[in-house]
Homo-oligomer: A and B are copies of this chain.
Amino acid sequence: MAFHFHPLVASRVHFSPLPFAAATGAPSPSSSVAIAAHYHHHGRRRFSAIVATATTTEFNFKAYMEERAVAVNRALDAAIPAGGLPAALHDAMRYALLAGGKRVRPALCLAACAVVGGPESWAMPAAAAVEMVHTMSLVHDDLPCMDDDDLRRGKPTCHVVYGEPIAVLAGDALLSLSFHHMASVGSYPPAVDPEKHPARVVRAIGELARCIGSEGLVAGQVVDLEMTGTSQTVPLELLEYIHLHKTAALLEASVVIGAIIGGGTDEQIEALRKYARSIGLLFQVVDDILDVTKSSEELGKTAGKDLASDKTTYPKLLGLAKSREFAEKLVSDATEQLACFDEEKAAPLLHLANYIAHRQN
């Protein structure tokens, strides 16, 4: 079977089988070491050096993610009034936003800020903002008139608990709050309030806004809905359009916004954009794989749904083994973009890429 990748991705995918995962069918538990060995074998010294450092200094990814999740949850909690009029709206916003997601997007945003040399705290408002946008898209996509999903992160979805009108409005409020949060002096630490770096904030807001509408999340959802209604198999090119918009766009924005707020150069920002595009598509390929290989309990959401609805997925188009192979290529391609950064500072982004590739839910 021939692969036809989306132009955004194709330019960076150079196929050669990796020595793990795809062949065995199971993600390797020590995959970053395996990648390092693979690239060392192929003489890509700089990249292997990064990975080796990241692994030999025993970067504690679990602790890193937990610390970020705590800080992000604190910022999100503080951003939405508890109680006060209108109580139902605030309750619904808090219910959807504080449901305990993995906070992958905020972590990417904070890590991108740090890798370009900005103190991580500068990107906290942006990290909270991307999670608000992500939550908004989940709340609206779950609506009865859209994907009609009752379960999300192991809990009843927002409209099941609060009703459809409040779910629509809570999504709208989260979307506007994300921009308000990024534009407000009060959200930033004193050293980087928007009045001191307004040009960075404007640029970051532009990136966030672009990834939502007709060039991002919404466009992906529209085409996804159109495809769901038909019995025909979606061609790979269109499947990638959907995922690059519905999933990758916000992951890209999360990384790019962090780099902008952190004061990254244009070259750094573009390298990180490429990294983010690969992991964005990777995220969805892995999602598709998990849908056919895991139970609802393991996922915290309805499993097997893609299969039941005859939805086109990577496993359906490529088969499970080739899908895993594609995932491994995307993760190696993404991490390659980190070669131009300080090794130690790039460790979180490297581990995030591996985590997205090998997560179990």
Contact = CB atoms under 8 A, between A and B. Distances in A.
Interface of A: 80-81, 85-86, 88-90, 93, 136, 140, 143, 145-146, 163-166, 168-169, 171-180, 183-184, 194-195, 198-199, 201-203, 205-206, 208-210, 212-214, 216-219, 221-223, 225-226, 241
Contact of A177 (B85, B177, B199, B213): B213
A165 B164 CA distance: 13
A13 B80 CA distance: 32
A209 B183 contact: yes
Which among A88, A175, A208 has the greatest number of chain B C-beta atoms within 10 A? Answer: A175
Number of copies of this protein chain within its complex:
2
A164 B147 CA distance: 12
A168 B180 contact: no
A203 B183 contact: yes
A85 B81 CA distance: 38
A221 B167 CA distance: 12
B173 A214 contact: yes
6 contacts: A168-B168, A169-B218, A173-B214, A176-B210, A195-B199, A202-B202
Given A140-B168, A198-B198, A198-B201, 9 more contacts: A136-B172, A145-B164, A146-B165, A172-B175, A173-B213, A176-B212, A179-B206, A183-B203, A194-B199
Contacts of A164: 145
A224 to B, nearest CB: 10
Contacts of A199: 194-195, 198
Given A86-B219, A183-B205, A223-B85, A173 B93 contact: no
A107 to B, nearest CB: 23
Contacts of A143: 165, 168
Nearest to A186: B206
Contacts of A226: 86, 88
Q: Is the interface of A mostly helix, strand, loop or mixed?
A: helix
Closest 10 CB pairs of A and B: A180-B209, A198-B198, A183-B206, A176-B212, A173-B213, A179-B209, A176-B213, A145-B164, A86-B222, A198-B199
B86 A214 contact: yes
Contacts of A169: 140, 218, 221-222
A266 B274 CA distance: 43
Contacts of A175: 172, 175-176, 213
A80 B213 CA distance: 11
A69 to B, nearest CB: 24
A216 to B, nearest CB: 8
Given A89-B219, A214-B93, A179 B201 contact: no
Given A86-B226, A173-B218, A180 B206 contact: yes
Contacts of A216: 176
Contacts of A145: 163-165, 168
Nearest to A198: B198
Given A166-B222, A199-B195, A222-B89, A214 B81 contact: yes
Contact of A222 (B80, B88, B217): B88
Interface centre among A166, A178, A183, A214 (most CB of B within 10 A): A214
A175 B172 CA distance: 8
A183 B180 CA distance: 13
B183 A213 contact: no
